[in-house]
Amino acid sequence: MITGSCLCGNVRYEISGKIGDIVHCHCQTCRKAHGSAFSSVADVQDNSFKLLDEVELGCYESSPGKNRYFCPNCATQIYAKKVGTEYIILRLGSLDDDPKSKELNHIWVSQKASWYSLKSKLPEHLEFEQNS
């Protein structure tokens, strides 16, 4: 069982099945919804995803037939869903466990933030590092 939750803890979920390959989406709506350079997502079948609490998720239709669901208290994005499909598009930042999936690709690079480079090799710090 793989588990996830929102920032405030009001929304918790568990996944019994497999999590699909990891896709990093750079589309403008993902950037806006997540307030970040891109959103990392993977498909999960409806019947293996289970919300553990009686919380009604917030919902925003970001494009026709595609709804984004989030915690109504802290606004963590949990998943998106296209009408008529049998899978959700899980927002991987909400996971508490390793999805045990592999990265597949970057999509919507045509709408990528101009200030983010897929090629740069930046210094990595284990925790916050003050800029000098």
Give me the residues that bind Zn ion (CB under 5 A), please.
Answer: 6, 8, 10, 25, 27, 30, 71, 73-74
Answer for the pair 82, 69: CB distance below 8 angstroms, yes or no: no
CB of 57: closest distance to Zn ion in angstroms? 10
CB of 74: closest distance to Zn ion in angstroms? 3
Distance CA 111, CA 31 (A): 9
Q: Choose between 2 and 30: whose C-beta lies nearer to Zn ion.
A: 30
Supply 45's token pair.
């079948």
CB of 5: closest distance to Zn ion in angstroms? 8
Host H or E run for residue 63: strand 58-63
- Is residue 75 left, alpha or beta, with left meaning phi > 0 and alpha meaning psi from -120 to 50? left
